[in-house]
Structure 1
Amino acid sequence: MNFRPILSFSEEDKIRTIQPHNDALLVTLRIGDYDVKRVMVDGGSAADVMYPDLNKGLGLKPEDLMPYNSSLMSFDEKLVLPKDMIRLPIQTGPEIVEVNFILVDTYSPYTAIVGRPWLHTLGAVASSLHQKVKFPLGDQVLEIRGC
């Protein structure tokens, strides 16, 4: 019999958060070989996005990048023309998933945004209210706390 854990959030998941709040869900993720802070989890984003500071911090070389020629819509509903794309591993606990990051050359208070591609690959559910991401691993549920 296959047991599949249920991903849910309860009142107990709000412990250690200040309520009420309207905070974005920011996490620290291991991208490549680095612990990257200020990564926004956005379940409304159809793309995983990397900003210039992270691109520079990871020391990516032009030959590591692939061309990307589709436009994106920014938070302020302006058209953003991405530069390139790169496939990188994200480690969350014992799980490692690879995602395509789209590099954009614009200011952001975040180092990166992980959206539905990362969430769906991991099988994760995010809650900004609870400031957590939960995902199944075998017969257990692991979580990433917002920071």
Structure 2
Amino acid sequence: MEVQYPDHRRPFYLSVVVKDVQVRRALVDTGSCLNLIPLSTLQAANVPQQKIQGSPMEVTGFGGVTEYTMGHVQLVLRVRPIVALTRFHVVNAEAPYHVLLGRPWLHKHKFVSSTYHQCVKGRLNGKPICIAANSSPFDQTEAHFVEATLYDDLSSTGDPPIVKPCGTPLPDWEDIKDDPEVDLRELLE
């Protein structure tokens, strides 16, 4: 019998708790050498900006875009059975994730992530654990995110995301496909 795995093309989001606030989109990114948290997520979790310490640091994101962090903050992060104080670098930028968990978080807990299997695996108290990805990190009000198209199920709007949706809503293809005047680059600017 063949085992069915989740769609491995999906971004790998975990459901986590940051300072007693449920967060549906914690992106696991093995390419990141930092754990990041947008300022909007900190505000939604009622973390005062005075808690941000250290000096700004230059970070380069996807596509070579460079920006500066506001500093870092230590927060209690719960990912299913794992509860630990975690350092996040704070960015004042819009992002499709609410928290980004990079290699520091994975290495601290000796986890191995698998985007193919959509889970992280490791050991807790000598016993193997497997933490599965959140299968519905977006709700109906966030269906405009490009990432949301990779998910079959959207969560009910009764479960609000930690922050308000952000992004560029795009028109339906049927509405613009025959219009020679439409340039999608203009819509994104």
TM-score range, shorter chain: 0.7 to 0.9
86-95 or 125-134: which moved more? Answer: 86-95
Aligned 8 A contact 2:114 2:120 in 1:
yes
Aligned residues between the structures: 133
Structure 2 stretches lacking a partner, 5+ long: 135-189
| Structure 2 residue aligned with 1:62 | 49
Q: Which amino acid aligns with 1:30?
A: V
Deviation by residue 1:34-67 (Cα, 9 ceiling, x = unmatched): 1211110001110000013211111111221103
Deviation at 1:16, TM superposition (A): 4.7
Of Structure 1 and Structure 2, which has the larger fraction of its residues in helix? 2
- Residue 20 (structure 2) aligned to one of 33, 44, 57: 33
- Residue 72 (structure 1) aligned to one of 40, 52, 59: 59
Q: Which amino acid aligns with 2:51?
A: D
Whole-Å separation in 1 of the counterparts to 2:132 and 2:81? 15
Q: Which amino acid aligns with 1:64?
A: K
Could you list the structure 1 runs, at least 4 aligned residues long, displaced by more than 3 angstroms after superposition.
Answer: none
The higher-RCO structure (CA 8 Å, 6+ apart) is 1
Deviation at 1:31, TM superposition (A): 1.6
Aligned 8 A contact 1:97 1:122 in 2:
no
Equivalent runs, 1:1-147 vs 2, <5 Å: 12=3, 15-18=4-7, 21-147=8-134
Q: Which amino acid aligns with 2:95?
A: S
Structure 1 stretches lacking a partner, 5+ long: 1-10
**Identity among equivalent pairs (%):** 23
Q: Which amino acid aligns with 2:124?
A: L
Q: Which has the larger radius of gyration?
A: 2
Deviation at 1:84, TM superposition (A): 2.2
Q: Which amino acid aligns with 1:121?
A: K
How large is the RMSD of aligned CA atoms in angstroms?
Answer: 1.6
| Structure 2 residue aligned with 1:5 | none
Q: Which amino acid aligns with 1:83?
A: M
Deviation at 1:17, TM superposition (A): 1.0
134-143 or 90-99: which moved more? Answer: 90-99
